Structure 1
Amino acid sequence: MVQYSKTRLDVSFAALSDSTRRGVLEQLGRAEASITDLAEKFHMTLTGMKKHIGVLEQAGLVTTRKAGRVRTCKLGLRGLEEEAAWIERYRRLWDTRFEELDKVVEELKRKEEVDGRTE
Structure 2
Amino acid sequence: MAATGSSLAGVMTRINGRHAFVYERILLLVVRETELRDSVTFAKQDLAKRMGVCVRSVDRAVTKLRREGLVTTEPVFGPSGVQLGNVYRATPEGIELARTFRRDKPRAKK
Normalization by structure 1: what TM-score? 0.45
More helix by share: 1
More strand by share: 2
Larger Rg: 1
Higher relative contact order (CA 8 A, sep 6+): 2
